Amino acid sequence: MSTERHEIKMFTPMTLGLLILIIAGAVSVYKRMTLGLGATTNLQDDFPWGFWIGFDVLGGVAMAAGGFVIASAVYLFNMKKYKPIARPAILTAFLGYLLAASGIFLDIGQPFRIWHPMVMWQVHSIMFIVAIHVVIYTTVLAMESSPMFFERIGLKGVQRFVEKIMMPIALFGTLLSTLHQSSLGAVYLIVPDKLHPLWYSSLLPFSFLVSAIMMGLSMVSFESILSSKFFKHQANVGILSGLARGSMVAIGFYFVLKIFVLLKGPGIGAAFAGTMEARLYLLEMAVGVIVPLILLLIPAMRNSTGSIFLVNCLVIVGVVINRMNVAIFGLLRHAHERGASYFPTTNEFMVTLFLVALGIFLFKFACKYFNVLSYEEVKQ
Amino acid sequence: MGTNAIMENTTAGQGVKKMEASFLIDATKCIGCRGCQISCKSWNQNGTDRTTAGPTFTNPPKLNSKTYTNIAFFESEQNGAVSWNFARNGCFHCKKPACASVCPVEALVKTPEGPVIYRAERCIGCRYCMLACPFNVPKYEWEKLSPKIQKCTFCYDRLLAGMIPACAKTCPTGTIHFSDSIEKNLAEAKKRISENPGKYHNHIYGEKEAGGTSVLLLSALPLDQIGHAKVGDQVLPDLTWKYISGIPAIIGVVLAAGIGSWVITRRMKNMDKEDE
Ligand code: SF4
Ligand code: SF4
Ligand code: SF4
Q: Which of A126, A178, A203, A326 to mutate to test the interface with B (most CBs of B within 10 A)?
A: A126
How large is the C-alpha radius of gyration of chain B?
24
CATH number given to A42-344: 1.20.1630.10
| Pair type for strands B215-218 and B22-26 | parallel
Answer whether A110 sits within 8 Å of B146, measured CB to CB.
Answer: yes
pLDDT at site A271: 92
- C-alpha A265/C-alpha A255 separation (Å) is 15
Q: What percentage of chain B reaches a pLDDT higher than 70? A: 91
| % of chain B at pLDDT higher than 90 | 69
Length of chain A counted residue by residue: 380
Q: Does residue A110 register a pLDDT over 60?
A: yes
Tell which atom from ligand 1 comes closest to the C-alpha of B236: 7
In the three-class reduction of DSSP (H, G, I as helix; E, B as strand; rest coil), residue A378 is classed as: helix
Domain segments of chain A as ranges: 42-344
**pLDDT recorded at residue A6:** 60
Identify residue A194 by its one-letter amino acid code: K
Rounded CA-CA distance B153/B46 in Å is 13
Query: What pLDDT, on the 0 to 100 scale, is given for residue A374?
Result: 62
Check whether B9 has a pLDDT greater than 80. Answer: no
Q: What whole-number distance in Å separates Cα of residue B271 and Cα of residue B276?
A: 9
Predicted local confidence at residue B273, as pLDDT: 56
β pairing state of B149-150 and B22-26: unpaired
Query: What's the whole-number mean pLDDT along residues A130-156?
Result: 85
Cβ-Cβ pairs closer than 8 A, A with B, add up to 169
The yes-or-no verdict on residue A377 having pLDDT over 50 is no
**What is the reported pLDDT for A108?**
93
Residue B71 pLDDT exceeds 80: yes
Angle between helices A276-285 and A330-337 (to 10 degrees): 170
- Could you give the CA distance from residue B123 to residue B102 in angstroms, rounded to a whole number? 12
**pLDDT, chain A, mean:** 89
Q: What's the pLDDT tens digit per position in B244-267?
A: 998 889 899 989 888 888 888 877
The answer to whether residue B161 scores a pLDDT higher than 80 is yes
Torsional class of A153: left (φ above 0), alpha (ψ -120 to 50), beta (otherwise)? alpha
Which is it for strands B108-110 and B116-118: parallel, antiparallel or unpaired?
antiparallel
Is the omega angle on the peptide bond into residue B222 within 30 degrees of 0, that is, cis? no
Distance of CA A169 to the CA centre of its chain: 20
pLDDT confidence of B271, banded at 50, 70, 90?
Answer: low
Name beta bridge partners: A47.
A44
Query: What pLDDT was estimated at residue A378?
Result: 37
For the segment A351-374, the average pLDDT, to the nearest whole number, is 87
- Give the gyration radius of chain A's Cα atoms: 21
Spatial distance between the Cα atoms of A146 and A180, rounded to a whole number of angstroms: 22
Give the C-alpha separation, B223 to B216, whole Å: 11
Range in A29-38, A231-240, A294-303 the model is least confident about: A231-240
Average pLDDT over residues B45-60: 84
Of B195 and A168, the one with more pLDDT:
B195
Q: Is the pLDDT of residue B11 over 80?
A: no
B86: three-class secondary structure by DSSP: strand
* Mean pLDDT to the nearest integer, B162-179: 95
Q: Is residue A2 very low, low, confident or very high in pLDDT (cuts 50, 70, 90)? A: very low
Residue A141 phi/psi, 5-degree rounding, is -65, -35
Phi and psi torsions of B221, nearest 5°: -100, 155
Distance CA B51, CA A258 (A): 46
Amino acid at A148: M
Task: For A306-330, write each residue's pLDDT tens digit.
Answer: 999 999 999 999 999 999 999 999 9
Please answer whether residues A300 and A217 qualify as being in contact, where contact means their C-beta atoms are separated by less than 8 angstroms. Answer: no
Question: Which of A243 and A236 is assigned the larger pLDDT?
Answer: A243
Query: Best substitution site from B110, B128, B130, B150 to test ligand 2's pocket, by max atoms within 8 Å of Cβ?
Result: B128
| Whole-number Å distance between alpha carbons of A123 and A212 | 24
- What value does the mean pLDDT of chain B take? 89
Three-state DSSP state, A191: coil
CB distance B243–A189 less than 8 Å?
A: yes
Mutate to test the pocket of ligand 2, among B65, B116, B126 (most ligand atoms within 8 A of CB): B126
Which pLDDT value is given to residue A303? 85
Determine, for residues B140 and A191 on separate chains, whether the beta-carbon distance falls below 8 Å.
no
Distance of CA A43 to the CA centre of its chain: 23
Q: For residue B272, what pLDDT band results from cuts at 50, 70 and 90?
A: low
Alpha-carbon distance of A21 to A27, in angstroms, equals 10
Give per-residue pLDDT as tens, B103-158. 999 999 999 999 999 999 999 999 999 999 999 999 999 999 999 999 999 999 99
The rounded distance, in Å, linking the Cα atoms of B98 and B131 is 9
Model confidence at A237, pLDDT cuts 50, 70, 90, reads: confident
CA distance to A61, A113, A243, B87, B271, per residue, from A73 (Å): 19, 37, 11, 59, 19
Q: How far apart are CA A99 and CA A57, in angstroms?
A: 7
Q: What is the pLDDT of residues A182-215, one digit of tens each?
A: 999 999 999 999 999 999 999 999 999 999 999 9
Q: Provide the H-helix boundaries in chain A.
A: 13-35, 37-40, 51, 60-63, 65-71, 83-107, 116-119, 126-152, 156-164, 166-186, 204-231, 237-264, 268-271, 276-285, 291-297, 299-302, 305-324, 330-337, 346-369
ipTM: 0.90
Q: How high is the pLDDT of residue A163?
A: 80
Phi-psi region of B80 (alpha: psi -120 to 50; beta: other; left: phi over 0): left
Q: Is A264 exposed, middle or buried (0-12, 13-18, 19+ CB in 10 A)?
A: exposed
* B171 φ/ψ angles, rounded to the nearest 5 degrees: -55, 120
| Weakest mean pLDDT among A23-37, A159-173, A334-348 | A159-173
Residue A1 has pLDDT above 90, yes or no: no
Model's pTM, two decimal places?
0.90
Q: Which residues pair with B109 in a beta bridge?
A: B117
B144: which chain A residues are within 8 Å (Cβ-Cβ)? 36, 38
pLDDT in tens, B88-107: 999 999 999 999 999 999 99
Set of chain B residues whose Cβ sits within 8 Å of the Cβ of A182: 243, 250
Half-sphere exposure of A151 (CA within 13 A, CB side): 19
| B contact test, residue of A79, A113, A165 with most B CBs within 10 A | A113
Top-ranked range on mean pLDDT: pick from A167-181, A188-202, A222-236: A188-202
Nearest CB to B105; choose among A122, A182, A189: A122
What values do phi and psi take at B67, rounded to 5? -130, 105
B78 compared with A27, residue with greater pLDDT: A27
Mean pLDDT, residues B34-39 taken together:
94
Least confident of A148-162, A273-287, A357-371, B211-225: A148-162
- Angle, CA of A345, A350 and A352, to the nearest 5°: 105
